[in-house]
Amino acid sequence: NAGVTQTPKFRILKIGQSMTLQCAQDMNHNYMYWYRQDPGMGLKLIYYSVGAGITDKGEVPNGYNVSRSTTEDFPLRLELAAPSQTSVYFCASSSLLAGANTGELFFGEGSRLTVL
Amino acid sequence: DAKTTQPTSMDCAEGRAANLPCNHSTISGNEYVYWYRQIHSQGPQYIIHGLKNNETNEMASLIITEDRKSSTLILPHATLRDTAVYYCIVRVFSGYSTLTFGKGTMLLVSP
């Protein structure tokens, strides 16, 4: 299993540009999440999904959009990039299955985004 | 979810036990204590979790006080690769895990 895979690993955007951060997991997890981490800070939840077709806002959703058309994929869309969105973005997933659900989140390696 | 308090940083000599404290005095009866760590530039990694009994796995031990208001993560023989930020998180054990990560404790393991 590859686990949680994020692309791209690095990206530089100009103010006002749009882009999509891709996230895929091959563990058949129902739950997926997007976090952002600013320098020296903890992680903040942007959006999460409890299954295909179902998404909900986290702590800091403004400026972002998500979709969940399949169990495996959970892309994060930035429509009008702003310098405040410069951050490291982490995608994560967790299992629903009874007995397999320890509450453990599996994280990707992160996507570093710089908006200039 | 209950709030947690951790020291900003700690030092440990390689080969010695690292004991990382966490205060969660407002924890509720159905809330679990989770520990994650984040090695520089990587995604956080799950370490261990517990409700009220002490827990041990291949990575660490978790000691929870009887009143559950505090806990200690123990790395029995710290190595240089254990240098990381350690997050103590308290949450209800439910289907999805919208974990709230604070700033954690920066553990520096030195030779």
Q: What is the DSSP string of B13-49?
A: ETTS-EEEEEE-TT--TTEEEEEEEE-TTSPPEEEEE
Please provide the average confidence, as pLDDT, over all residues in chain A.
91
A-chain residues near B36 (CB < 8 A): 105
**Which residue in chain B has the smallest CA separation from A4?**
B43
pLDDT of B6 reads: 96
Q: Which one, of A105, A5, A81, A88, lies nearest residue A41 by Cα?
A: A88
- Contact call for residues A98 and A64 (beta carbons, < 8 A): no
| Range 8-27 of B in CB contact (< 8 A) with A | none
pLDDT of A64 reads: 97
In angstroms, the CA A93 to CA A104 distance is 9
Query: How is residue B80 annotated by DSSP?
Result: G
Q: Mean pLDDT across the stretch A76-91? A: 96
Contact B41 A110 (CB under 8 A): yes
pLDDT of B103 reads: 86
pLDDT of A85 reads: 96
β-pair partners for A91: A34
For residue A99, is pLDDT > 60? Answer: no
Distances (CA, A) of A21 to A36, A107, B7, B16, B110: 12, 14, 34, 41, 37
Question: Which residues are CB-contacts of A78 (< 8 A; sequence separation ≥ 6)?
Answer: A13, A18, A19, A20, A21, A63, A64, A85, A113
In angstroms, the CA B90 to CA A105 distance is 14
Q: Which one, of A30, A2, A25, A17, lies nearest residue A77 by Cα?
A: A17
In angstroms, the CA A74 to CA A34 distance is 8
pLDDT digit string (tens) for A15-62? Answer: 999 999 999 999 998 889 999 999 888 899 999 998 999 999 998 999
Q: Which one, of B34, B36, B28, lies nearest residue B1 by Cα?
A: B28
Contact A45 B99 (CB under 8 A): yes
A-chain residues near B99 (CB < 8 A): 43, 45, 105
- Measured from the Cβ of residue B59, the count of other Cβ atoms closer than 10 Å reads 15
Query: How is residue A62 annotated by DSSP?
Result: T
pLDDT digit string (tens) for B73-92? Answer: 999 999 999 999 999 998 87
pLDDT digit string (tens) for B22-38? Answer: 999 989 888 889 999 99
User: Which long-range CB contacts under 8 A does B60-64 form with residues at least 24 apart?
Assistant: B60/B35, B62/B33, B62/B35, B64/B33
| Range 24-43 of A in CB contact (< 8 A) with B | 30-31, 33, 35, 40-43
pLDDT of A96 reads: 64
Contact A58 B98 (CB under 8 A): yes
pLDDT of A108 reads: 96
